Structure 1
């Protein structure tokens, strides 16, 4: 009887030991998995677009993914170019072209702007973004292995009361980075304060900005 009790006790201790070991390993696995996720898992597809970007007659692909694990909710743009074998090859991957939804400098507050929209038109990649008092559209063109910024169109207004009235001035900016010509046009909708003023500047930027180097904060440069 004593031997049987000892055997039962030993088996119980072994089972407890195995259980503790299992729990320890599970905890370590969870920590490891969390560490992987914390390094950036862009797990939510926000946008996908297809079109010919490198002028080879085949469909290329762009995607925008959000990392819902990171508290700032960063976003990643990726561009995949078609290959002769029918597959896509990653050409660009950027996490700095789109501002996170909850930037660290805003201490967890929403950045106030919707996620930029990307589309492919006439062989160009267009990026439409909200900015303070308006919006801005960037046009990138594939040239010699890079997507270069070639055109910018921006529309802003000077409304300060939270709404647009008859005194609001709208400013349209068109900037052709290839020619270096930047045109600003001010206008109003009111007959009393009608305004139509145009300003033309020469702003030469060389080399042309590449999409992989472009930052969301660069909007202030143009």
Structure 2
């Protein structure tokens, strides 16, 4: 019995460790909020973007995952998984209050991933292109309404390094107060590195 005791203790310790690890690795993002399909890597095969929520967490965090098709196999490969680019529905700093903004929309257009946000009435569109093995931010478009008869818009081309700001009156194509300046980016931001608060600073 004395010889068996160390083996029994080892097996008990091993099983406990495996069980704890399985609990730790269990995926808590179980609620699918949205799902989009389209060609993102220009191989004429459907890729997939999935937006999920952790409904067990009090903060209701969101996760976006991007799966790309692979050559000669039917299964897709997970390329991006991020919980930073979207603010939780009930952030800790709001003490249980909702963040007040709708969940961002994701869709695929012209081979690029588009992300639409509405933060405090500022509507933004972020365009990500799959290149260099990553989804890189290449363009930002923003518009906000003054509540009367004018909108203020911003267009940022991160590839060309140009930022344009202008106003427009509702129902008119005339551009007012146009300003253009150069902006420099040493590297294009990658979607997995960006946080929701960083996006608002551009």
TM-score normalised per structure 2? 0.83
Aligned match for 1:67, one of 39, 43, 54: 54
Higher strand share: 2
- Give the direction of change, closer, same or farther, for the CA distance of 1:102–1:200 in structure 2 (3 Å limit): same
Choose 61-70 or 40-49, whichever is displaced more: 40-49
What RMSD over aligned residues (CA atoms) do the two structures have, in Å?
A: 2.5
The corresponding residue for 2:148 is 165
CA distance in 1, matches of 2:107, 2:175: 33
Q: How many residues align?
A: 182
The corresponding residue for 2:37 is 50
1:187 equivalent to 2:175? Answer no
Where has structure 1 moved over 2 Å in runs of 4 or more? 35-40, 187-191
Deviations 1:64-90 (A, max 9, x none): 000000000000000001012111110
Unmatched runs of 5 consecutive residues or more in structure 2: 1-18
Higher helix share: 1
Choose 37-46 or 47-56, whichever is displaced more: 37-46
Deviations 1:134-186 (A, max 9, x none): 2100000000200000000000134xxxxx224xx421100000000100011
The corresponding residue for 1:98 is 86
Deviation of 1:132 (Å)? 1.9
TM-score normalised per structure 1? 0.76
